[in-house]
Structure 1
Amino acid sequence: MKGTLVNAAVVLLGSGLGLLLRSGFAERYQKTVMQGLGLAVLLIGLEMALKTKNVLIVILSLVIGGLAGEWADIDARLNRFGAWLSEQTKGRYGDLGQGFVAASLIYCVGAMAIVGSIQDGLTGDATTLYAKSMLDGISSVVLTSAMGAGVALSSITILLYQGTITLLAGQLSSVLGEAVIREMTAVGGILIVGIAMLMLELKVIKVANLLPAILFAAVIATYWV
């Protein structure tokens, strides 16, 4: 869970800095830094994707997983859930509650949190979560300067949400073979590339709808002859 622990700690530090810098960052600085981090995320995704030893497994997983995710419409459901939760808490708990809810949604309702936590649990490699920590750290400074100390409380959500996924994936690592974990990692890397493309504003991709591909990679790799 080292990746999740670092993620939560960075959000806390960023929130503290945000309280000191209530005026926030100039937009041009924020945009340049986020673009740089987007390129770094792209590199991480490519490195993960290239671990595959059978690109056909990756392709089949993405196709079948994408169809399943589109059928379930995961991306839209997550967006609707976020909108509903924000509406339910709007003005009900004051600035503290609004900051907590908004930041929790931003940091946890996304593919990077899920893929990074699975990768950390399966392989012990927290690189993706470290990259996410940098992104969350910068955004926590900006969010806190605008919404107040409630953003810091989202670190609790990060611990519970990502920590649970990491622990569950860790349990699976004991029963999954090395080849299966490798192909799951490769598919996860492709999704990270998709996230990087979103960050760099190159293409709008419903990455959440492709999340089932990681599970299909495990099944296909297990029975691949």
Structure 2
Amino acid sequence: MPVGVIVDSICVFAGGIAGAFLGKRLDKNLCSTLTLVFGVCSMTLGITSITKMEQMPAVIFAVILGTVAGELLHLEKGIAKAAEKVQAPVARIMKTDTKDSRDTFMAEFISIVVLFCASGTGIFGALQSGITGDHTILISKAILDLFTAAIFAASLGFIVSLVAVPQFVILMLLYLCAGLIMPLTTDTMLADFTACGGVLMLATGFRIAGIKQFPIANMLPAMAFVMPFSWIWTQVM
């Protein structure tokens, strides 16, 4: 049973609802401070994952080529357009306000979509959960996601809770596909996959903290490239 996937998705949904209801009551300084803390937590998870790297050239190559592919496919712009279409009707139905700055809204919304749906921790956690039944990684992520969703929903509104839907679909598909994917992998490939996810988590942390607006969505193809690159590098070198 996909316990980790279910718990993580419920935490995002519940955190988004709670944050939207309590948004006006939460101290702005507290929200600002916690946002910085969540950014640091994301960086910490990223650094921890990066330390598991086995084949550095393969990971770096995957990140670079993956980002190039993402830029050519305009993934971030596609997510931004989808978010823009969803934002207006949700705001009207729920009668909730988002931040005045459209650019700020888009930057933060894209960051949380990547953080909740496409983080290396979530992807690897879903695969590990599917093949071994160990839900530790996803449940640990769920705890962070609960509070992160609440803080972001305090300013972005109920739309944050809706991120739980694509998150559940993505993580559930990975959980179900784990039986096919994991037997084809090696320990080195998994380590490099985790490290690549760590790079994205680190970049996400910088973005959440407002330090640097990395094009996180455009970096996502790296997650598809890193395992094949790791295998090729191991075999050739």
TM-score using structure 1 length: 0.78
Deviation at 1:15, TM superposition (A): 5.3
- The aligned residue for residue 67 of structure 1 is 68
For 2:132, the equivalent position in structure 1 comes to none
Give the match for residue 211 of structure 1.
220
| Paired residues, number | 215
**Aligned-pair Cα RMSD in Å:** 3.2
Which consecutive unaligned segments of at least 5 residues does structure 1 have? none
1:64 Cα deviation from its structure 2 partner: 1.1
Give the Å deviation of 1:80.
Answer: 1.2
Which residues of structure 2 form unaligned runs of 5+? Answer: 99-104, 130-136
How big is each residue's C-alpha offset from its partner over 1:120-172, in whole Å with a ceiling of 9 and x where there is no partner?
Answer: 123343244543333113334x269x65xx87666455433432344335541
Structure 1 consecutive aligned stretches of length 4 or more whose deviation exceeds 6 Å: 96-99, 105-108
Aligned CA distance change for structure 1 residues 211 and 170 (closer, same or farther; 3 Å)? farther
Q: How does 1:103-142 map to 2 (within 5 A)?
A: 109-115=113-119, 116-124=121-129, 125-126=137-138, 127-140=140-153, 142=154
- Matched-pair identity in %: 19
Give, in whole Å, the separation in 1 of the partners of 2:17 and 2:115.
26
TM-score by length of 2: 0.75
Q: Which amino acid aligns with 1:138?
A: I
Moved more, 111-120 or 193-202: 111-120
Query: Cα deviation per residue 1:73-122 (whole Å; 9 max; x = unaligned)?
Result: 1111111121133356664xx228999xx9xx779732542123311123
- Separation (CA, whole Å) in 2 of partners of 1:23 and 1:33: 16
For 1:87 and 1:120, the matched residues in 2 are separated by 33
Preserved CA contact (<8 Å) 1:107 1:158: no
Is 2:157 the counterpart of 1:160? no
Give distance in 1, aligned partners of 2:112 and 2:180. Answer: 21
- Could you say which residue in structure 2 is the equivalent of 1:195? 204
User: Which residue does 2:10 correspond to in 1?
Assistant: 9
